[in-house]
Amino acid sequence: MRSASDDLTARARIRDTAIVAFARDGYDGASMRGIAKEAGVSPALIVHHFGDKNALRTECDEHVVGVFTDEEHDLIQAPTRDRIRTALHDLDRYGPYIDYLSRMLVDGSPAADRLFDSFLASTRDVLDEQRAAGMLEPMSDLEMTTLLVTLIGLGPVVMRTQIARALGTDQLSPAGLIRTTLPTLELLTHGIYATTALLDGARGALATEAPTTEGDAS
């Protein structure tokens, strides 16, 4: 007779196998039968635990969100803000979660939206702390800057394959992280333009653009 603990173990094994399969093959490319084979279970057992592929994906989404946002989650032993950084330094162990995260953010889902919002909030908290410490320059639009910094951080995750092809190495590997750290900080600290010509031109152009409202069209 199968025990309750056996069911829980099988359910977790199916979920973890599905995370790897969805990250590798995409949601449409991964099949229930293929996941069952990799997990060493029958397709009927997946149906027993999850019902269908959509429900399995939802559980995978929720689990990965918990990995990166829930400080009670015991997979990555780090505070929420540091979880992606911790995972990036041990890709052999956490790589499937990083790859699944990339798929989530590109494909979109309610769980992916919550995860992105949590990253945005964490970036906002960091910038607030740095501003209080006198580390930041004045910003014309703090919320937009927060969004841009968040996108810079997530870019290597979402574009991992393309960046690896351009660099000749995985940016998320130790060698890739070493190569990109200083240029990234240089960009954030000094920028890339030696004069303010482009900024001054943009400010002048935008100053002449009056906001358009629905009443303006009448």
CB 88 within 8 A of CB 155: no
All structural domains of the chain, each given as residue ranges with its CATH number in brackets, are: 7-158 (1.10.357.10)
Model's pTM, two decimal places? 0.73
Residues 6+ apart with CB under 8 A from 110: none
What pLDDT sits at residue 210? Answer: 57
Residue pLDDT, tens place only, 91-113: 778 888 888 888 888 887 788 88
Encode pLDDT of 142-175 as tens digits.
999 999 999 988 888 888 888 889 888 887 777 8
Tell me the pLDDT of the chain averaged across its residues.
Answer: 83
Alpha helices, DSSP H, located in 29-109: 32-39, 43-50, 53-69, 83-88, 91-107
Q: What is the largest CA-CA distance in the chain?
A: 76
DSSP reduced 3-state for 168: coil
For the record, the structure tokens of 65 come out as 């969100």
Tokens for 8?
């829980």
The closest alpha carbon to 64, from 83, 47, 86, belongs to 83
How many residues are given for the chain? 218
Place of tokens 């890339």: 192
Is the model more confident about 211 or about 3? 211
Structure tokens, 187:
């960009």
- pLDDT score of 20: 93
